[in-house]
Amino acid sequence: MTRPVGQALGRRSDFGRELRLLAAFSALRFGELAALQRRDIDLEARTVSVRRSYAETRTDGMTVKAPKSAAGVRTVAFPASLVPELAHHLAEHAEAGRTGLVFVGARGGVLRRNNFRRIWLRALDATGLGDVHFHDLRHTGNTLAATGGATTRELMHRMGHSSVRAALIYQHLVNGRDHQIADYVDGQIKKVKRPPRDSSGT
């Protein structure tokens, strides 16, 4: 894979582009993204608020509910680069009104995982990413946050987790680069290191 997943899947003039970008750079779950309303997006503050999530079951069909835990209710900042993308999407594609859905299906209905799968597969084919799952975008966002120096508590907040376990996995993943960093520094030292003096002192 030659490009970051979020970058590769952010092709212009592409249905679902803003959904994928927000998934990659805010690490929201699919159900949380599908349930976002206009009032949840603050372009000036560059934040998205998670208050509800869509879930689909065989018995109940599509239902909207509160996140699984209190930690799931959260406000997450997103990169400034996404502001014009989201502003355009809200103006052209989102439902009207403060409670209108930000992301809707191709025919204007609630965004469903099964229907979105066709769009997702087309995006993968167009970018040559191969076997990548939508949930991998959340993994990308969490990894980027950890690489940026997010603390365990900050990672837990962005991920919507009440347990430290998942946050520590991402921090450990980033910390595993420590020897790579040291090797790079060693290479820089060797470039400027003077040869040792001989016994005569020359």
The residue among 32, 109, 115 whose CA lies nearest residue 76 is 32
Of the listed 29, 74, 89, 158, which one is catalytic? 29
Of the listed 52, 54, 158, 170, which one is catalytic? 170
What is the Cα–Cα distance from 9 to 125, expressed in whole angstroms?
10
Residue type, 162: S
What is the Cα–Cα distance from 185 to 198, expressed in whole angstroms?
26
Does residue 138 carry a catalytic annotation? yes
Does residue 88 carry a catalytic annotation? no
Hey, CA dihedral for 21, 22, 23, 27, is it positive or negative? Answer: positive
Does residue 29 carry a catalytic annotation? yes
Of the listed 3, 122, 135, 177, which one is catalytic? 135
Does residue 170 carry a catalytic annotation? yes
Does residue 133 carry a catalytic annotation? no
- Tally helices (H) and strands (E) across the chain: 9, 5
User: Strand 61-65 relative to strand 53-57: parallel, antiparallel, unpaired?
Assistant: antiparallel
Active-site residues, by number, are 29, 135, 138, 161, 170
